[in-house]
Amino acid sequence: MGRSPRGGSAATWSGLALCALAMTGLVASSLPEPDQPEPQRSGVTSSAADPYCPPGWDPGVDSAARAAGTRVSDPGAQADAGVEITPEQAAEYEERLRDALVSQRGRELAPPYTVPVAVHVISATDGRGAVSDQQIRDQVDVLNRAYQGDYALGSEGTDTGFRFELSDVTRSADDAWFDDFNRHGDAIRSQLRQGGPETLNVYTTELDSGLLGYSTFPQDYQDDPDRDGVVIAYDALPGGGRERFNEGHTGTHEVGHWLGLFHTFQNGCQPPGDYVDDTPYEREAAAGCPKGRDTCPERPGRDPVTNFMNYSDDACMTHFTQGQARRMVEHWNAFRGGSARV
């Protein structure tokens, strides 16, 4: 396990695939046209791979999960056919973002001051999965620290401007729900989900070994609002039993997807990568905390191993970039409406 760089510890798109600086005053920037030069991406030291499913995962179970950004504990596992976010799917989501931002032109884009968080604890009747209120508070605290840059080293930290406030906790002891959240996901979310697009709904439950969590994207809300939210393995919360992944950064990572970010290794070494100019290209996801990794040597910068949108161990992950913060703000204003602003 990589050393913990304290200050810190650490933690796609399409309706087709599971297994998966305060920014006030930012104006949305447009993507280059296909015939324009690809954007130059800065060299930041870090690493990451494509979303893989754990062995034995059934791709026929839950389309909501298949439409999500994911985090797994073993990026070297064999990918199931059809579960990776393809370049075409990513480009479709990007086009939807750019179309939605047309109406925002001329406006200053800024994050909300506070995002309300409703946590729904799904446990077994024997008590498995019944995470404590303290763990829930600790998870929200991790989100606030991560999104304001507290885990970052030196100058790499970015205050994204996003803050999170616990608004409610619900508890459901149901063996069927706990043992197979994917199969019962539609019913669970339709019964429990709270608020509108601005409310972060987090579901904690049992997930297959290897799968840490998954999230919907902002673009998905309009078509299926009940599915909007983040699912996290109960033992990946702070203080949980998931070794190497129990400091709360699965939550940090999945909320990044909920706010519109791809994995740092999206599209591998090929442009446009993860659609963020200041995260170096990365051929595949990182595992553990590799130092000096460079899977795209023909591109500037080493792999973004310590970025929250990688698959590295929690203790290795430390930051978002300014470009990622800008992208989250764009998604917030385009799809979540800024209605949580106070």
Classify residue 20: in a domain, yes or no: no
Classify residue 31: in a domain, yes or no: no
CATH code of 281's domain: 3.40.390.10
Q: Residue holding tokens 């996003």? A: 162
Q: Tokens representing 255?
A: 């909320």
Q: Which residues contact 187 (CB under 8 A, 6 or more apart)?
A: none
* Structural domains counted in the chain: 1
| Beta strands across the sheet bearing 200-205 | 69-72, 211-215, 230-233, 200-205, 115-123, 164-173
The whole-number pLDDT of residue 123 equals 98
Domain extent for 164: 63-336
Classify residue 48: in a domain, yes or no: no
- The pLDDT tens digits of the residues spanning 304-319 come to 999 999 999 999 999 9
Catalytic residues: 254
Rounded to two decimals, what is the model's pTM?
0.80
Give the gyration radius of the chain's Cα atoms: 18
Classify residue 150: in a domain, yes or no: yes
- The pLDDT tens digits of the residues spanning 248-279 come to 999 999 999 999 999 999 999 999 999 999 99
Classify residue 308: in a domain, yes or no: yes
Classify residue 322: in a domain, yes or no: yes
Q: Residue holding tokens 């019944």? A: 130
Amino acid identity at 273 = G
Classify residue 14: in a domain, yes or no: no
Give DSSP secondary structure letters for 269-337: TSTTTTS-TTS---SB---S--SS--S-TTSSS---TTBTTS---GGG--B--HHHHHHHHHHIIIIIT
- The pLDDT tens digits of the residues spanning 112-152 come to 878 999 999 999 999 999 999 999 999 999 999 999 999 99
Classify residue 52: in a domain, yes or no: no
